Structure 1
Amino acid sequence: MIVAFSVTPLGVGEDVGEYVARAVKVVRDSGLPNRTDAMFTSVEGEWDEVMPVIRAAVDAVAEVAPRVSLVLKADVRPGVTDALTAKVESVERHLSTS
């Protein structure tokens, strides 16, 4: 599965990069395939691998923020691996032939 999620600290002001970096570090340290962009971090793995990482990312932000907002979207496809890369490559391939 791929889960795209966003962890937002609330009550800490407008500059949240320092807080969000705590969540991203948890994901990167997990060893699971992941990608971060301006809006979401995506992580790929099995349910039992991905969900504890997301919880740990939220907990890392909750340690320094009074409130945390979590948004997530999941693509659950049993048996599919490397979709994080393959989906983007498919779009790029179609763009290059247009």
Structure 2
Amino acid sequence: MLVAFSVAPSGTHDDDGSLHDAVAAAVRIVRASGLPNHTDSMFTTIEGDWDEVFAVVKAATEAVGAWGPRVSLVLKADIRSGRSGELTGKVERLEAALAGPASSPAATPAP
């Protein structure tokens, strides 16, 4: 499964409104997990089985909790049995489609 998540404290922040130190605490946990992961400007995506992924999300959320009295957690999961390597595989298939000829779904007749 892939889980994309964003976690941040609320109630406190740096003088400039940045949350980078709190987010860094979460990302350190993700990277130390050894699971495949990718962080971009909005989310961190992690790949693994249900129990190991959610254990990492829980630990990352708890780490961010040290930065404020409340924590906001947003997540999206792609649960697809029997698949692995999707952290990069999905992007590779998209890039291949972009490099190929443009296609569109078959037109359906109007009612």
Q: Percent identity?
A: 55
Quick one: which amino acid aligns to residue 93 of structure 1?
Answer: A
Moved more, 17-26 or 4-13: 4-13
Deviation at 1:69, TM superposition (A): 0.1
Give unpaired runs (5+ residues) of structure 2. Answer: 102-111
Larger Rg: 2
Task: Name the residue aligned to 1:57.
Answer: 60
Give unpaired runs (5+ residues) of structure 1. Answer: none
1:39 aligned residue (38, 42, 45) = 42
2:7 aligned with 1:7, yes or no?
Answer: yes
Task: Name the residue aligned to 2:31.
Answer: 28
Q: How many residues align?
A: 98
TM-score (norm 1): 0.96
Quick one: which amino acid aligns to residue 39 of structure 2?
Answer: T
Task: Name the residue aligned to 1:73.
Answer: 76
More helix per residue: 1 or 2?
1
What CA RMSD, in Å, does the superposition of the two structures yield over aligned residues? 0.9
